[in-house]
Structure 1
Amino acid sequence: MAAIHPTAIVDPKAELDASVEVGPYSVIGPHVVIGAGTKVGPHVVIEGHTTIGRDNHFFQFSSIGAQPQDKKWAGEPTRLEIGDRNTIREFCTFNTGTVQDKGVTRLGNDNWISAYVHLAHDCQVGNNTIFSNNAQLAGHVEVGDWAILSGYAGVHQFCKIGAHAFVGMTTSLTQDVPPFVLVSGNPCSAHGVNIEGLKRRGYTRAQIDAVRAAYKTIYRQGLTLEEAKAALLAQEGQLTEGAEQVRQMREFLDSATRGIVR
């Protein structure tokens, strides 16, 4: 039997692994599935069609799987999917998706989500990200692996944030952020490459130098995006170590839908 506090309310139709812990006064809805080793603290509400993996920790007072804050939502059974080993701190709000997009909001594995973070409908968050207190995602936002959002960063709907990018404190983000790029401010602007983050993750000097050269191509040579993509393709072909990182940046420019932060 799962370790459920007697004051918690768990719907009989919910599927909880026997090792799940549910704290006092928490509420678990009928369409919720929770994997082994996950801990749900006190006063947490988990509802909707929500699937949660292994070894997650939900701290007190979070609202997980509530209906999307979207007037177009008409009661469709959209979903929220959360992976493994995530830490979700106090007062977080994660909503389900909408049928106008993917129909599912996703949070991957090994993410550190601080207090008061909001993941709106249809957001797609990768693995190993860090969201500091009060970071807020509007609907349909995509966040790549290892990205960091500082405190009070706000992201406009449909924006994309590339892998290993860094978004500074109180930033108002209305355009896409390429991989590895550090941005901040209001209005937002680019301020170089997240070099410290890449060093911590074991990137070599040659890989970091390739990323820095690609950054200069995009931001320092006065090129249009099409010209920058062509230049990056040429750089990629000349590299052995670092070619993969340049390819990531070039392909991100192809996928950007709101223009990139300049």
Structure 2
Amino acid sequence: MSTDIHPSAVIDPKARLGANVRVGPFSLVGADVEIGDGTVIGPHCSITGPTRIGHDNHLVGHVAAGGDPQDKKFAGERTELVIGDRNVIREFVTLNRGTGSGGGITRIGDDNLLLAYTHVAHDCVIGNHCVFSNNSTLAGHVTVEDWVIMSGFSGAHQFCRIGAHAFIGMGALVNGDVPPYTMVGSDSLGRPRGINSEGLKRRGFDSERISAIKRAYRTLYVAGLPLAEAKQQLAEQAQSSDDVRALLDFIERGERPLLR
């Protein structure tokens, strides 16, 4: 089956569209844009390049993807936006390309849900199976690992990392690295408030794994230990828990202060 392009859509001759791609009314697809098989572009979308979009995505409407990074250092160098497969991107989402000094690529993985007015800035890296609720915002160079949930009106400061399975509460502003499994409270201070136990249960974590993660959280946040001493105890706990090992590895890789 061939592509289905609405007569009012504008498709640059240099764009490459896969099989079964649909483009809705008044949408623009620019040069150096590649759209994979089965992807649906709704009405009033603007996709400029260089941008690569995988297969079976759905850009619902009024999405602006692949625009220039909002960074004064950007000088027109070639940079990219790369989107994986099976993502749902809702109304008025904005996704910017990377910068030459920041690695050159903004990358979004697979099976993510980006609700209305989400903003993903330049050089961000988003994993798989994440949910970005309405008006959630990432500044430049933010890394979001798999299975993260960003609640409505939450945000992350540039260069922060949010670990896998973390939950960011409504309106929380994150200004440090959030360890995996951590729940950040629904307030502007963005403080840790325990682990995302409900999310872990939904993803098949058994009681033994969740108990090990809770023990690690208490070591890191409740025991009142200096970070160096907490890391020593986490290293001991990691000998019997791959989940704690993943948490400790995340901390060890950090360049920004840990959210504590």
TM-score by structure 2 length? 0.98
Deviation at 1:224, TM superposition (A): 1.7
- The equivalent of 1:188 in structure 2 is 190
Offset of residue 18 of structure 1: 2.4
Look up the equivalent residue of 1:210 and give its one-letter code. Answer: A
Amino acid at match of 2:243: Q
Q: The residue matched to 2:101 in structure 1 has which SS?
A: coil
Task: State the AA in 2 paired with 1:63.
Answer: A
Determine the C-alpha separation between the residues in 1 that align with 2:144 and 2:21: 28
Q: CA deviation at 1:257?
A: 2.1
What is the letter of the counterpart of residue 188 of structure 1? G
**Which residue matches 2:160?**
159
Match of 2:14 in 1: 13
C-alpha offsets along residues 213-254 of structure 1, whole Å, 9 cap, x if unaligned? 0001101111122211111111112x2xxx110011101111
Task: Write the deviation string for residues 161-193 of structure 1: whole angstroms up to 9, x where unpaired.
Answer: 000000000111111100000002221211000
Residue equivalent to 1:206: 208
Give the whole-Å Cα distance in 1 for the aligned partners of 2:220 and 2:26: 52
The question of 1:67 aligning with 2:68 is answered yes
Query: 1:196, 1:81 → 2: CA distance?
Result: 31
Is the 1:144–1:162 contact (alpha carbons within 8 Å) kept by the matching residues of 2? yes
Q: How many residues align?
A: 258
Q: Contact conserved, 1:95 with 1:121, CA < 8 A, in 2?
A: yes
Alpha-carbon distance, 1:129 to partner: 0.2
| Alpha-carbon distance in 2 for matches of 1:202, 1:188 | 27
Q: Which range moved further: 48-57 or 222-231?
A: 222-231
| Equivalence for 2:219 | 217
Show the counterpart of 1:43. 44
DSSP 3-state at the match of 2:100: coil
Q: Secondary structure at the match of 1:100?
A: helix
Residue from 239, 244, 249 that aligns with 1:246:
244
SS at match of 1:230: helix
CA distance in 2 between partners of 1:230 and 1:137 (Å): 32
2:255 maps to which residue?
A: 257
The amino acid that maps onto 1:141 is V
Deviations 1:1-40 (A, max 9, x none): 3100010000011000121000000000010000001000
What are the within-5 Å matches in structure 2 for residues 60-209 of structure 1?
60-184=61-185, 185-209=187-211
1: CA distance, partners of 2:92 / 2:188: 26
| Aligned partner letter, 1:255 | R
Taking the aligned partners of 1:191 and 1:169, their CA distance within structure 2 comes to 13
* CA distance, structure 2, for counterparts of residue 187 and residue 193 of structure 1: 17
How much is the aligned-residue C-alpha RMSD, in angstroms?
A: 0.7
Structure 1 residue runs of 4 or more that deviate by more than 6 Å after TM superposition: none
1:257 maps to a residue whose letter is: E
AA aligned to 2:207 is R
Say which SS state the counterpart of residue 258 (structure 2) adopts: coil
Which amino acid is the alignment partner of residue 136 of structure 2? Answer: A
Unaligned runs of 5+ in 2: none
Q: What percentage of residue pairs aligned between the two structures are identical?
A: 51
